[in-house]
Structure 1
């Protein structure tokens, strides 16, 4: 029996990973959660190194996937100590416990470790984060690689997938503004048309992670840094236009061709996925197909309050 612990199993990516791995008949999955505990998860505060150590000793996983993080750039700017606790210190504590057990550790990182000026970025491209979020995730990468030689960093871009509320993904968080702009008395919504993003479907990422775990289970663990990304470049404005069409809304959207965010964000951090593709690891669902799946599973009915 191959056992995997998913740290942060209640989040956007964590849920998709658990769903994918739980479908493997010869595997056992244990998920942890903190802010959104569920009956099928183990309560774990990743800011508590002793609790992490006890969890790993008790569950004895063969591999761990770290999906817990503070991923909101604006929050990281305002609360750098929280960003460091979740994105750096927790990764190190988990890697220490996993290394002691001899378990493979996969830590999730971000395209925001780059400044967005020279895409596409390879795993060995020089990082240059522009904001506190990117800096904390880069430090988290270093924490993993400094702690264990049986580990891997997986860099990912903007994620979307099945949600529990609109705000859970930066993609679906646009829906309330889109809906308001389409209402009779609503105002047109300004949407960023400067930064280029590569929306990536969480069930696709979960499939990729499962393939990576299969290699570890077969004795061919992937180490170092790898990257995975959707292959459709689009701005927030273009994402919003596609969402409006999927929702059959006549949205009134105004493209903003210069950066307007208070937190600096990179222009184009396209991640090259060559290393995983060369290993035969690959799955990408077209955005229009995937976003319709997301919206169908989270009924619209004109309600954006959820």
Structure 2
């Protein structure tokens, strides 16, 4: 079994088998005894003690808190696929809302820091860039559930911190491939790939996002945007990767969000204004440097 180390402070991280959770566990292990909660998939971070538990079962979580006695919690677990949330609203809501409220309640009971990872998709994408105080206007089930979760978190634990995250890019040792991996693979093999040219985000790599969360945890409460420094479309990002990879045969085609039938509606531009977080020490990596690192990691085959 992996060890959480000998640090006196205990940090509980949910979603530890996923993309962001994997990065959080790795970075936090230098200063915390990390306990990584996975539900359906195995936690693979060596420096974290894996914990299995159903986040939607409040009694299970209460017992878990009593056993581990964490001194801080980062809740990164979510049903984050917008299409899944549209098709399975009740199941997704139990994960995205019910479990989140239960964890926030436990942190209120123990009076410890609680960080909840939310999303830029709480906005409809018509009035970017979005600051923390802008009104939420979700257009899909996933965004609506995250808004409800944000509200319930602040209602039961006002000292909690909600970190709104953008499109996450990069590679990790988490259990599944992601958009970045599929894009790199398609570019390298010359596989035809359609990428949105009119959907804009402020993407950030997983390591920067994890470092940002750990940096701001305990420094503030309320809502904080953790976007990247550059607004970009997936199509432009794909073209930049093709140049870095020197793949002249890359078959990348621009498409519009209006042309593609999707299970969940898409917001055209949910770019985040993250100046407040920058002032607190959040310092996301330069996008071009991030893309170069992605390519190097992909070619080495080891995150």
The TM-score with structure 1 as length reference comes to: 0.87
Note if contact 2:193-2:253 (Cα within 8 Å) is conserved in structure 1.
yes
2:26 maps to: 19
**What are the residue-to-residue correspondences of 1:273-288 with 2, within 5 Å?**
273-279=274-280, 281-288=281-288
How far did 1:162 drift? 2.5
Q: Report the RMSD for the aligned CA atoms in angstroms.
A: 2.0
**What are the residue-to-residue correspondences of 1:40-189 with 2, within 5 Å?**
40-164=49-173, 168-180=177-189, 182=190, 188-189=192-193
Residues 143-193 of structure 1 deviation map (CA, whole Å, 9 limit, x = unaligned): 21111122111001000233348963333332344345x2xxx5x432211
In the alignment, structure 1 residue 31 sits paired with structure 2 residue 31: no
Q: Gapped runs of 5+ residues in structure 2?
A: 1-7
Distance 1:33 1:166, change over 3 A: closer
Distance 1:2 1:91, change over 3 A: same
How far did 1:201 drift? 0.9
Distance 1:167 1:20, change over 3 A: closer
Distance 1:295 1:45, change over 3 A: farther
1:256 maps to: 255
Q: Gapped runs of 5+ residues in structure 1?
A: 302-306
> Separation in 2 of the partners of 1:49 and 1:246?
47
Distance 1:16 1:261, change over 3 A: farther
> Separation in 2 of the partners of 1:17 and 1:149?
23
How far did 1:236 drift? 1.3
- Secondary structure of 1:285's partner? coil
Note if contact 1:167-1:173 (Cα within 8 Å) is conserved in structure 2.
no
The TM-score with structure 2 as length reference comes to: 0.88
1:193 maps to: 197
Greater Cα shift, 259-268 or 9-18: 259-268
Runs (4 or more) in structure 1 with deviation over 6 Å come to: none
Distance 1:128 1:74, change over 3 A: same
Instruction: Give the number of equivalent residue pairs.
Output: 287
> Separation in 1 of the partners of 2:90 and 2:188?
35
> Separation in 1 of the partners of 2:290 and 2:195?
21
- Secondary structure of 1:17's partner? helix
